[in-house]
Amino acid sequence: MEKQVPTRGKGQGQRVKGKGQRAKGKGQRAARLSHVDARGRVTMVDVGDKPVTSREAIARGSIRMSREALAQIRRGAVKKGDPLQAARLAGIMAAKQTSALIPLCHPLPIASVHVELTPMARGYDIEARVRTTAQTGVEMEALMAVAVAALTIYDMVKAVDKRMVIGDIRLMKKTGGKSGTFEREP
């Protein structure tokens, strides 16, 4: 369940809409995609007139694995090295390269990236927190950091367990910008 937190100037209980979005109701059209022009062509959103604001995004995901793979990681016995440190570094690098991999993402001045890996009974939960001061948000950078951190663990441990499952990659929270704050219910 998600909630949109109203920004200053909006009434209580109103959903915050971004540019190009319309409320969906009786006799109204659904929200318009911001990366598609009036003729249906893919286009990059022009953020040139948007104000520079502080923005943050938090994304989470997970990787589940066999007991043997988990035991090797926790014993420090993975032949390729420490997959957790490699995953943390890969997640940071991925956040910084998001615009090179996602065609319509803007290159952003990343202020900070933190990637945390929390041990669970059958694997790891991964959280990335990305901050910037820019004209557009860092949601894609946070999601990319989580995905690449999980893929790095998979790459380093696949000799032990090819059945690992990467999943539940999702945006948990974003702050800043015209659309305000989004926070996913736990």
Has residue 55 been placed in a domain? yes
Catalytic residue from among 37, 46, 125, 155: 155
Report the pLDDT averaged over residues 50-60.
94
Total of domains in the chain: 1
Has residue 110 been placed in a domain? yes
pTM over 0.75: yes
pLDDT at residue 164 is higher than 70? yes
Residues 63-89 pLDDT 10s: 999 999 999 999 999 999 999 999 999
The CATH number for 138's domain is: 3.30.70.640
Q: For residue 182, what are its two tokens?
A: 């989004």
Has residue 24 been placed in a domain? no
Has residue 39 been placed in a domain? no
What is the sign, positive or negative, of the torsion defined by CA atoms of 8, 34, 112, 5?
positive
Has residue 140 been placed in a domain? yes
Residue 112 belongs to domain spanning: 51-184
Backbone angles phi, psi at 100, to 5 degrees: -80, -20
pLDDT at residue 14 is higher than 60? no
Q: What is the 8-class DSSP label of residue 136?
A: S
pLDDT at residue 23 is higher than 50? no
168 is catalytic: no
Please, how many CA atoms are within 13 Å of residue 25, restricted to the half-sphere of its CB?
A: 4
Has residue 73 been placed in a domain? yes
Q: How many CB atoms lie within 10 A of CB 105?
A: 19
Residues 91-150 pLDDT 10s: 999 999 999 999 889 999 999 999 999 999 999 999 999 999 999 999 999 999 999 999
Residue 38, C-beta contacts closer than 8 angstroms, at least 6 positions apart: none
Has residue 42 been placed in a domain? no
Has residue 17 been placed in a domain? no
